[in-house]
C-alpha cells in the first residue's frame, strides 16, 4: 500500500470532513424528518383515540335513558266561558271553579297539574237528562298562552245547541241526525195558553249532514218528522254555538 505524504493525507482528511458535512447532515435531516412524521402520526392517532372515546361516552350517555328534567312552571292565565251551559274547571280531579256564560276568572296553576273542564248537562221538562256530546276536556296547563277560552269549537270540531220554540198544540220529541243514526233527545212541550212550548237541547257535533228533527211524541224518534237542515244550523251564534229554531206545524 502506498504511503501518503503529509499533504496528501491532509487533502484526504479534508475530503472526508466535507463528505460528512454534506451527506451526514442530510441523513440526520432525513432521520429528523422521519421522526417528525412519526411524531405527528402518533399525535393524530392519539387525538383520534380521544375523539372515539368521547363519541362512545356520549353514545353511552345518550342510550342510558338519562334526560333533562322538565321544569315545573307557574302558569298565569284567564279562563272564560262562552258556552250557554255553566262550565266546571277541575284541578287534579277536584272542582276548582264554576263559570257561567260570559264569566271569566284569573288563575295561577302549576304546569304539573291536571286541568279539565266539563259543561253542565240540561234536563227537559220531564226531568230527563238531555244528551250532550261535549265530554270532559283536558287542557295541558303548560300549553296555555295567557287565555283559556271555552267555546263551541273544540279541537277544530264545531258544536251547536238549539233553543227550540213550539208554536203548535202538539208535544213533540227532538232528535239529532248525524248521517247514520238519530240521537233521540229532549221532549218539546206543546204551546200553552199565553206562550210557546220551549226546550234547550244539549251540544251536538255539526257535521255536513247534521239535522235537528221534531218527531211525534211517543214515536221514539221514528216515523214522520220536521227537519232543520245543516244550512239552517250553520246560522249559529259565534262562540256559544246557539241557534234558534221554531216549530210551526205538526210532523
Least confident of 11-20, 61-70, 79-88, 219-228: 11-20
Q: Is the separation of the CB atoms in 83 and 119 below 8 Å? A: yes
pLDDT for 229 beyond 60 = yes
Q: For residues 72 and 84, give the distance between their C-alpha atoms in angstroms, rounded to a whole number.
A: 34
Least confident of 79-83, 91-95, 124-128, 146-150: 124-128
Least confident of 58-67, 152-161, 237-246: 58-67
Report residue 180's pLDDT band, with 50, 70 and 90 as the boundaries.
confident
Percent pLDDT > 90 in the chain is 65
Q: What cell numbers appear for 206 in the block?
A: 255539526
Report residue 179's pLDDT band, with 50, 70 and 90 as the boundaries.
confident
pLDDT score recorded for residue 10? 43
Instruction: List, as one string, the DSSP characters of the chain.
Output: -PPPPHHHHHHHHHHHHHHIIIIIHHHHHHHHHHHHHHHHHHHHHHHHHHHHHHHHHHHHHHHTT--PPPPP-EEEEEEEE-SSS-EEEEETTEEEEEE-TT-EEEEEEETTSEEEEEEPPPB-TTSPBPP-----EEEEGGG--SEEEE-SEETTEEEEEEEEEE-SSS-EEEEEE-SS-EEEEEEEPPPBTTB-EEEE---EE--TT-EEEEEETTSSS-SSEEEE-HHHHT-PPTTT-EEEEEE-S--
Locate all alpha helices (DSSP H) within the chain, ordered by sequence: 6-19, 25-63, 230-233
Q: Is the separation of the CB atoms in 170 and 183 below 8 Å? A: no
237: which DSSP letter?
Answer: P
Least confident of 35-44, 106-115, 135-144, 241-250: 35-44
pLDDT score recorded for residue 68? 59
Report residue 70's pLDDT band, with 50, 70 and 90 as the boundaries.
low
Q: Is the separation of the CB atoms in 101 and 240 below 8 Å? A: yes
Instruction: List, as one string, the DSSP characters of 16-27.
Output: HHHHIIIIIHHH
pLDDT score recorded for residue 127? 81
Phi, psi (rounded to 5 degrees) for 27: -60, -45
pLDDT for 44 beyond 80 = no
Q: To the nearest whole number, what is the mean pLDDT of the chain?
A: 81
Residue 242: how many other CB atoms lie within 10 Å? 19
pLDDT score recorded for residue 194? 80
Residues 115-132 have pLDDT tens digits of: 999 999 888 777 888 889
Amino acid at each position: 500500500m502506498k504511503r501518503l505524504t503529509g499533504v496528501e493525507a491532509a487533502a484526504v482528511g479534508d475530503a472526508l470532513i466535507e463528505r460528512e458535512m454534506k451527506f451526514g447532515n442530510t441523513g440526520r435531516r432525513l432521520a429528523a424528518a422521519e421522526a417528525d412524521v412519526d411524531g405527528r402520526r402518533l399525535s393524530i392517532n392519539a387525538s383520534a383515540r380521544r375523539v372515539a372515546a368521547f363519541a362512545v361516552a356520549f353514545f353511552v350517555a345518550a342510550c342510558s335513558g338519562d334526560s333533562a328534567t322538565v321544569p315545573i312552571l307557574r302558569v298565569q292565565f284567564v279562563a272564560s266561558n262562552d258556552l250557554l251551559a255553566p262550565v266546571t274547571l277541575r284541578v287534579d280531579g277536584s272542582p276548582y271553579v264554576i263559570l257561567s256564560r260570559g264569566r271569566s276568572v284569573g288563575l295561577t296553576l302549576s304546569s304539573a297539574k291536571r286541568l279539565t273542564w266539563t259543561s253542565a248537562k240540561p234536563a227537559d221538562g220531564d226531568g230527563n237528562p238531555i244528551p250532550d256530546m261535549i265530554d270532559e276536556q283536558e287542557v295541558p296547563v303548560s300549553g296555555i298562552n295567557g287565555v283559556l277560552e271555552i267555546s263551541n269549537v273544540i279541537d277544530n270540531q264545531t258544536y251547536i245547541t238549539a233553543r227550540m220554540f213550539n208554536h203548535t198544540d202538539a208535544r213533540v220529541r227532538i232528535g239529532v241526525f248525524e248521517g247514520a243514526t238519530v240521537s233521540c233527545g229532549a221532549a218539546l212541550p206543546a204551546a200553552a195558553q199565553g206562550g210557546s212550548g220551549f226546550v234547550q237541547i244539549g251540544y251536538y257535533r255539526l257535521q255536513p249532514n247534521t239535522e235537528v228533527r221534531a218527531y211525534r211524541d211517543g214515536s221514539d224518534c221514528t216515523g214522520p218528522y220536521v227537519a232543520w237542515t245543516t244550512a239552517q244550523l250553520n246560522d249559529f251564534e259565534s262562540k256559544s254555538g246557539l241557534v234558534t229554531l221554531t216549530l210551526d206545524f205538526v210532523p
